[in-house]
Amino acid sequence: MFELLDVKVDGILNIPQLTIPAGKITVITGPSGSGKSTFLRLLNNLDPADAGTILYKKESILNLEPLSLRRNVVMVPQAPVIFDGTVKDNLEIGLIFAEKELPSVAEMEKALKLFELDKPLNEEAEHLSGGEKQRLALARAVLLDPEVYLLDEPTSALDEETAESVMSSFCAYARKQAKTVIMVTHSKEIAELAAENEIEIKGGVVHG
């Protein structure tokens, strides 16, 4: 699905050649500051590379319209953006930006349930904890139904038991739907339960 050739981000990453398969869960590990988040942001052109080529489905991402690319390759950052308003407002806003049909109440409740977020749709999002906001952002991404999920430390604000339960459910969903997931995690437990493909970044060098 992705192929990176001689990609460099000066002082951060050096990737001579790397292929990321479609329909698999790829887990990215490595020490803090090694360039894991930068690597994710390269894949939907949020950060440009200084050199090299990044192909998405055999086409350079530089030739793809950025908004169209990001509708298909959706990123959920470690500290997700939560908008003013209710849980429902936050679930709908991604689809509004993407100019997609709004989900039904049942679809929104199903997305929340996938991530074990037992909150009414009319609850103000500002009242949610950090871990609940992470799960709300993940539910919003699922409703967008992209081809690729880019997840940057998606369970960093959750306790270990909840993190493993939530990611186990999401991974089962992703496999059933044949989605491509590329996930950064510091958790060995999450990496072990999720990974079908592994990439390690050390000192800016990518091993995959």
Domains of the chain, by residue range, sit at 2-207
Strand boundaries in 21-132, DSSP class E = 25-29, 51-56, 59-60, 73-76
Helix (H) or strand (E) holding 55: strand 51-56
Is the pTM of the predicted complex or chain greater than 0.85? yes
Q: Is the pLDDT of residue 205 over 90?
A: no
Residue 11: the pLDDT is 84
User: What amino acid is encoded at 26 in this protein?
Assistant: T
**Six-digit token string for 92:** 């709908």
The class (CATH top level) of 2-207 is: alpha beta
How high does pLDDT run on average in the chain?
96
pLDDT at 208: 78
pLDDT band at 203 (very low <50, low <70, confident <90, very high): confident
* CB within 8 Å of 83: residues ≥ 6 apart: 89, 90, 93, 125
The Cα angle at residue 164 between residues 78 and 140, in degrees rounded to 5: 45
When computed from its CA atoms, the radius of gyration of the chain, rounded to whole angstroms, is 17
Both tokens of 203, joined, read 């000192």
Give the confidence band of 119 by pLDDT, cuts at 50, 70, 90. very high
